[in-house]
Amino acid sequence: MKRIGVIGIVIKGDRAVAVEMQKVLGDFGDIIIGRMGVPRPEANVISLIVEGSVERVSALTGRLGKFHELSVKSALTSVEIDC
């Protein structure tokens, strides 16, 4: 079963990490159904709407969490969608 959720990403410090982060997001493009970015002088903020298995969403947040310049939080709803 797939679930719908959101992932919030804040990029602080060296923004060069954005290139590497984009590669990770590309690897998980199959579960990302929406994306919004807000540039700020002190930090850039990105929100992702995701639809996928709990394992797949966790894998994405885990990969993003390995970047020291990123702060990542996710929330999955209890809404389940048939595959």
Name the CATH architecture for the domain at 2-81.
2-Layer Sandwich (3.30)
pLDDT in tens, the chain (83 residues): 899 999 999 999 777 898 999 999 999 999 999 999 999 988 999 999 999 999 999 999 999 999 999 999 999 999 888 76
pLDDT of residue 14: 76
pLDDT of residue 22: 95
Q: What is the pTM of this model?
A: 0.91
b/e 46-77 (16+ beta carbons within 10 angstroms → b): bebebbbeeeebebbbebbeebebbebebebe
Distance CA 30, CA 19 (A): 19
pLDDT of residue 83: 65
Distance CA 9, CA 19 (A): 14
Distance CA 80, CA 75 (A): 14
